[in-house]
Amino acid sequence: MSGVVISYNERNIATIEDVDLTNKKVLLRVDMNSPIKDNVIMDTSRIRSHIKTIKELVELGSKVVIMSHQGRPGESDFISLKSHTEILSKLLGFNVEFVGDIIGPEARKRIATLEVGEVLVLENTRFLSEENIEMPFEQLMNTNFVKKLSHLFNYYVGDAFASAHRSQASIAGFPLVMPAVAGRVMEDEIKGLSKAINGERPSTLFIGGAKLKDAIKIMNHLIKTKKIDNILTGGLVALLLLKAKGYNIGKAEKIIEEKFASLIPEAKELLKYDNIFLPEDFVSDVDGNVEVVSSKEIKGSPKDIGPQTIDYYNELLKNSKTIILRGPAGVIEDERFRNGTIKLATESLNSNAYVIFGGGHFISILNDLPPMLRKRIGYISTGGGAVVYFLSGEPMPGIEALALSYEKFFKGLKQ
């Protein structure tokens, strides 16, 4: 091995340069989890981000089998990877094959006959029920998933940084039983985000979106450990906090009550911190009309932060030295409700702060920004929740497993 390792919390992780991939079978875990509307992929950034890793693996003469998840069981974005594969073929300029199977005979048979230069995509890993259970490492090593596939490959390449906070078989199980290296996305993320950890203060996190359980966990950690100076909220995160405060949140009541009522006590605890900020107004869909409504009197379905909130958040962003944007602030899939997210990004980039685009669905507004501003972005992460876990020092099983793999399979090898 050439010794081109990366360092994470003083642990080593091997990279693509450390192994000879000629004629080798490689199991590559990427994260192509994308925003979906009516079964259609709305943004291909996540898919595009892995192109350099895939190209490199093919150019190095390996046989590549790709795994990824899409959505969560029971949600409308929980779809097959067939259309992701079509996009991959277009982006790579050659045919990428899709097999509608993961660990069954169909997939294993195809993996066995794979030739150099061929790229195969397996079905959505979360179609396997055991993949949806986060487990300790000893159990992950013994899942059917890992047992059925690991012996078919020479190497595992971990490129799914955006899912590295999940202790799931496809992410942390394989590296424990076979030599594993970091792909290019994983490598860039670890290096890029490490810069933000030692970022200048004051630091501000904008947190929005609909992954409320994760958001509460993240806010709790960052606020209690004082790793962040301000937290600005938007999206459903903000509506949950307003509901916890006793406000009427209009038509958002239903979703919060039905899906997130158990989070209200924790949300109430967070209201005690005066450096967590809530929107003062929203852009709401009131019987089909777009209206600005005060947070104190929400009517209709609140879908974006309002103009007053944007101004007041912008003041805080202007004075920050490090900004992490983990959004979105509203329902950005709908043109009428993209403004808040775009304005926050614009103001952040107009400041002198080091700005990190904390991934997930936030990056899908990149094309709305002028090129001059895009150049100001310090780092664009493909990870949503993963970014904040990383920055707050939470365990990252997907990275930890790569470090363990290094210790087990690479350490002591002649360089």
Tokens in use for 41?
A: 């992929």
Rounded CA-CA distance 175/93 in Å is 30
- By beta-carbon proximity to ligand 3PG, the closer residue of 163 and 230 is 163
Shortest gap between Cβ of 328 and ligand 3PG (angstroms)?
12
Tell me whether residue 184 or residue 326 sits nearer to ligand 3PG (CB atom): 326
Q: Does 336 bind ligand 3PG (CB under 6 A)?
A: no
Select 31 or 188, whichever has its Cβ closest to ligand 3PG: 31
Q: What does the DSSP 8-state code read for residue 15?
A: B
CA distance 185 to 333: 25
Is residue 330 near ligand 3PG by the rule CB under 6 A?
Answer: no
**Distance between CA 308 and CA 297 in Å, rounded?**
14
The two most distant CA atoms of the chain are separated, in Å, by: 69
Q: Tell which one of 53, 163, 167, 392 touches ligand 3PG (CB under 6 A).
A: 163
Token pair recorded at residue 399: 């990275």
49 is a site residue for ligand 3PG (CB under 6 A): no
Rounded to whole angstroms, the Cα distance separating 381 from 66 reads 20
Q: Select the span of 160-168, 187-195, 248-256, 263-271 touching ligand 3PG (CB under 6 A).
A: 160-168
Bridge partners (DSSP) listed for residue 283: 292, 304
Least distance in Å: CB of 295 to ligand 3PG?
Answer: 27
Angle at 7 between CA 4 and CA 9, to 5 degrees: 170
Instruction: In angstroms, give the least distance from the CB of 71 to ligand 3PG.
Output: 7
Asked if 384 is part of the footprint of ligand 3PG (rule: CB under 6 A), the reply reads yes
Instruction: Pick the stretch among 115-123, 161-169, 259-267, 336-344 that binds ligand 3PG (CB under 6 A).
Output: 161-169
Does the footprint of ligand 3PG cover residue 343 (CB under 6 A)? Answer: no
> What are the b/e assignments for 135-165, b being 16+ CB within 10 Å?
bebeebbebebbebbbeebbbbbbbbbbbbb
What residues between 71 and 100 interact with ligand 3PG by CB under 6 A?
72
Residue 392 near residue 225 (C-beta atoms within 8 A): yes
In this chain, which stretch among 49-57, 159-167, 246-254, 285-293 interacts with ligand 3PG, using CB under 6 A?
159-167
Residues in the site for ligand 3PG, rule: CB under 6 A? 31, 33, 72, 162-163, 166, 211, 360, 384-385
